[in-house]
Amino acid sequence: MIRRWKSPLELGPATREAYGRALAELGEENPRIVVLDADLSKSTYTGHFGKKFKDRFFNVGIAEANMCSIAAGLAAGGFIPFASSFASFLMCKGYEQLRVCCAYMEFNVNFVGSHGGISLGEDGPSQESIEDIGLACCLPGFTVAVPADDVATAALVRAAAEHYGPVYMRVGRPRVPKIYGPGERFSFGRAKTLSDGSDVTVIANGLMVAVACQAAEVAERRGIDVRVIDCHTAKPLDEATIEMAAAETGAIVVAEEHLSRSGLGSLIAQAVTRRHPVPMEFVGIEDTFAESGAPEEILRAYGLTTEHILGAVDRVLTRKAKGAAVVAQ
């Protein structure tokens, strides 16, 4: 198996921190970048930008709806806004504004929700976003991305600034393993194949990419050749890469830190069904909220570990073998 990650994975910074750093760099280069936050600039790291560019930073207070519409007005006036809060507040309190002021009005606004998923841990479910990707993907014209590490985040923030059209990106609270080396290039809608396995494909996004890589290493020792794909863009989906994986490996597992029934897995299942149906399994959060605790405890309790991916790999391979047996008869 040819792998593109360095084993063992080395811990890198949180994607939210990479976001803040990338924004501050972009601010130097492009005077049209403006940044908005709703009283969480220390947590979302937009404060880095705010310190450097006071006149282009707007902290509107705890008023997400107002922030999202102001961002659209700034875009109408020729600027490139990045608006941030926790993913849960941005998406749920700003949804009408994302829908009407950005999707419907076709304004070029970038939204970055931090503390995505349940890995923020101790703060508990009111702060955790388990549905943001599904909600964002429902918005016509939105590009939706979940970067896996700092390099991916910085590159995708840059891609968002260059892309004309509304973007939603989810970043996370905890430090995450580094997948990519410096200088790796990213485009929206172009998934990264991280290993070339032929028995089964694990498609993941966000922090589940590292978990998928670790699961692939364990599976390899058990004689299973796993293809790992970082599907960092949920919309537009890289259907060609997914179709090729379905055709060449014949079994797909999707792993995401999101409600399993409304996120990346559902989108991929649609593409697979349409283009090349194969058995699929899904690793994600069941129809429930999580709870407080250390991130690793929460991820384990709600089904987001290497063991959960390996279990799904076993199940999907059993189904694949059964299918092959039926065809052979």
Partner 1 sequence: MDPKKIDVGEIASRARTIRRLVMEMLAASGSGHPGGSLSAADIIACLYFGVMRHRPHEPFWEDRDRFILSKGHACPALYAALAEAGYITHDLLTSLRRFGSPLQGHPDRRKLGLIEASTGSLGIGLSMGIGMAIAARLRRSPSRTYVMLGDGECEEGQVWEAAMYAPHIKLGSLCAIVDFNRLQLDAGVEELTDLQPLADKWRAFNWHVLEIDGHNYDHILESLAKAEQVADRPTVIVASTVKGKGVSYMENQLRFHGAVPDKPEEIARALAELGAGARS
Residues that bind partner 1 (CB under 8 A): 34, 55-56, 58, 60-61, 63, 65-66, 68-79, 81, 96-97, 100-101, 104-106
Shortest gap between Cβ of 80 and partner 1 (angstroms)? Answer: 11
Cβ atoms of residues 165 and 188 within 8 Å = no
The residue among 140 and 183 lying less far from partner 1, judged by its C-beta, is 140
Shortest gap between Cβ of 26 and partner 1 (angstroms)? Answer: 16
The residue among 13 and 104 lying less far from partner 1, judged by its C-beta, is 104
The residue among 94 and 197 lying less far from partner 1, judged by its C-beta, is 94
The residue among 81 and 265 lying less far from partner 1, judged by its C-beta, is 81
Query: CA 165 to CA 97: how far, in whole Å?
Result: 15
267, β-bridge pairs = none
- Over the chain, what HEC string results? CCECCCCCCCEEEEHHHHHHHHHHHHHHHCCCEEEEECCCHHHHCCHHHHHHCHHHEEECCCCHHHHHHHHHHHHHCCCEEEEEEEHHHHHHHCHHHHHHHHHHCCCCCEEEEECEECCCCCCCCCCCECCHHHHHHCCCCCEEECCCCHHHHHHHHHHHHHCCCCEEEECCCCEEECCCCCCCCCCCCCCEEEEECCCEEEEECCCHHHHHHHHHHHHHHCCCCEEEEECCEEECCCHHHHHHHHHHHCCEEEEEEEECCCCHHHHHHHHHHHHCCCCEEEEEECCCCCCCCCHHHHHHHCCCCHHHHHHHHHHHHHHHHHHHHHHHC
Shortest gap between Cβ of 186 and partner 1 (angstroms)? Answer: 29
The residue among 106 and 307 lying less far from partner 1, judged by its C-beta, is 106
The residue among 167 and 280 lying less far from partner 1, judged by its C-beta, is 167
Residue partners of 159: CB distance under 8 A and separation at least 6: 186, 187, 188
Shortest gap between Cβ of 31 and partner 1 (angstroms)? Answer: 9
Shortest gap between Cβ of 221 and partner 1 (angstroms)? Answer: 55
Shortest gap between Cβ of 109 and partner 1 (angstroms)? Answer: 9
Q: Among 10, 29, 64, 256, which one carries the catalytic annotation?
A: 64
Active site residue 64: yes
Shortest gap between Cβ of 1 and partner 1 (angstroms)? Answer: 48
Cβ atoms of residues 206 and 146 within 8 Å = yes
Query: CA 96 to CA 252: how far, in whole Å?
Result: 34
The residue among 36 and 210 lying less far from partner 1, judged by its C-beta, is 36
Active site residues: 64
